Amino acid sequence: MKKINAKSPLGIFLFVIIPLVVILVYSGIRLDLTKEKRYTLSDSTVKVLESVKKPMTVDVYLEGDFPASFKQLQSETKFMLEEFRKINPKIDFKFIDPIKTKMSQDTLMSMGMQPSILPDVKDGKISQITLFPYAVIKYDNDGVSIPLVVQQAGIDADQQLTRSIEGLEYSLVSNIKNIAADKRKKVGILVNQDELSPDEFQGFVQLAMENYDAGPIIPKNQTELSIEDVPLLKQMSALVIAKPRKAFTDNEKVILDQYIMNGGKTLWMIDAVNAEMDTLTRSKKIMPFPVDINMTDFFFNYGLRINPALVKDVKKFALLRLVTGEVSGNPQYTSLPWPYFPLGIAENNNPITKNINPVKFEFPTSIDTLGGRKNIKTKVLFESSERTLLKQVPNYVDLKEVASVDSLGQMEKPSTPKIFAVALEGKFNSAYASRIERQSYPGFKTSSPDNKMIVIADGDVGRNKVIKGKPLPLGVDLLTNEQFGNEQFLRNALDYLLDDSNLMELRNRNIEERLLDRQRITEEKTNWQWLNLLLPLVIIGLIGGLFFWLRKKKFG
């Protein structure tokens, strides 16, 4: 019998390729040949998975009869959870069909799941399919529901599924990290500067308490922050200052400066102009005026200046629902463009703002970045469009401006895009390093370790509406029936500030869509069907004929 040469194509196939395939199949090893490495877990993910010390179960409610696009999401979720289990066998999962198991919608909704209702066309009949695309992580008597489909307006179903798959690893592993953490990080909310009321800030507090321990920071002397409050501040991983309207004292600024120098993260929501929509709705006309909270030099130290001038965006704006008429005693409402409520739409690849709904700003001002500061990186999160106007204050704001969005009022002039929010990261230097105030703080530090800060030039970005004494979810506008991305934005902002595992970078993962040409499929459908039917038969016939010829040549 003639020996097969190991260096021949047949020998390579028999002695190299086939054994390699067998080894990969039985060992479970997989090779990720995708350009974006979509099937390779990040180092940050691996570290989080390895930190899970007790048994964890992930129940995925994505089983049953549903469209092919959701089958892809199911497949991707199953693959990722299998990879998680390989890293840490304590993590197990199962897929559940809520219809087959006869789980009621009320039960599922009580677990924090909202149904997705999809149209289904069969035999010319249109019906509806109700899905609950969620995963529930159970760990040590705790549980959390995770939506597997991103909630983003203005995109089609294919984009929504693609972005859901892009964010799958982050959604799962960030929640695994939070639920398995031995100790939750603390977020302090400053209550001393006439900030937002508890009802107006309830939505933010609720989202903060999902993953962190959040609570108020009230000065012990009931007047201002002092040295007595430093021990409590040191326990806080982050400090939130939401719409302060009372000026900070110099002593308070030193306390805040040293909180930052000691590694504390800060989230600022600042109003530089006093303008309230409730007052405008009642009086039809208001006179906004600057608000000085005595922080100009503080932010200047970080290369920022918050300008006391209202930003009007005549291209990207929210709608304002107003009474514009009356029929038989019934008021008639119309939704009109309101340039003083610009929308923050993510136009850069930043993990804080990626794949979220437009963020609604209310009477925002703007932030100037005053050139680079040594060791500080400044990243713009949101800015206005190129069709932006500035209204200097004091000046009148009139509801009649909804009728002529493009008009220029007194003291207005066309301007360049203005920045609404920025993120700072790096090593910060103290603003009081060479000032006498440093002597009032024991153990004064002149610089910080690697730190982060977010500054937003709008105090209302974190305020939820209150209807008849009942707080609404953050970002919900009942009058226009819109869900803005304020909650998503602020949740991501907190996660960014407190992310010590570099998980936020997973939100920047992009999956290139390699879609088939639908028009060509329609035009050449019959040809491809015949090809798929006959090509396998031809290949089998050729292989059979080849073996028959070789056998005849050898033994004939």
CA angle 119, 125, 129 (to 5 degrees): 30
**HEC string for 470-522:** EECCCCEECCCCEECCHHHHHHHHHHHHCCCCCHHHHHHCCCCCCCCCHHHHH
- Counted residue by residue, the chain has a size of 556
- Distances, alpha carbon 280 to alpha carbons 184, 243, 403, 412, 453, in Å: 42, 19, 15, 20, 33
pLDDT score of 484: 94
Cis peptide before 244 (omega within 30 of 0): no
pLDDT (tens, 9 = 90+) of the chain, 556 residues, equals 456 566 666 666 666 777 776 776 666 566 665 665 666 788 899 999 999 999 999 999 988 777 777 888 889 999 999 999 999 999 999 999 888 888 888 888 888 888 777 666 565 666 667 788 899 999 988 889 999 888 777 677 777 888 888 889 999 999 999 999 888 999 999 998 999 989 999 999 999 999 999 999 999 998 999 999 999 999 999 999 999 999 999 999 999 999 999 999 999 999 999 999 888 888 889 999 999 999 999 999 999 999 999 999 988 999 888 877 767 667 777 888 899 999 999 888 899 998 899 999 999 999 999 877 888 999 999 999 988 989 999 999 988 887 665 555 545 667 789 999 999 999 999 999 989 888 889 999 999 999 999 999 999 999 998 888 889 899 998 878 889 999 999 999 999 999 988 888 888 777 666 556 667 777 888 888 888 888 888 888 888 888 777 777 777 6
pLDDT score of 129: 72
The partner residues of 285 in beta bridges, in order of sequence, read 398
pLDDT score of 556: 65
**HEC string for 125-171:** EEEEEEECCEEEEEECCEEEEEECCCCCCCCCHHHHHHHHHHCHHHH
Q: How far apart are CA 348 and CA 379, in angstroms?
A: 10
CA angle 503, 55, 164 (to 5 degrees): 40
Nearest to 172 by CA among 288, 285, 49: 49
Q: How far apart are CA 63 and CA 302, in angstroms?
A: 51
Q: Please say whether the beta carbons of 139 and 54 come within 8 A.
A: yes
Structural domains of the chain sorted by starting position, each given as residue range(s) with its CATH number in brackets: 36-180 (3.40.30.10), 186-508 (no CATH)
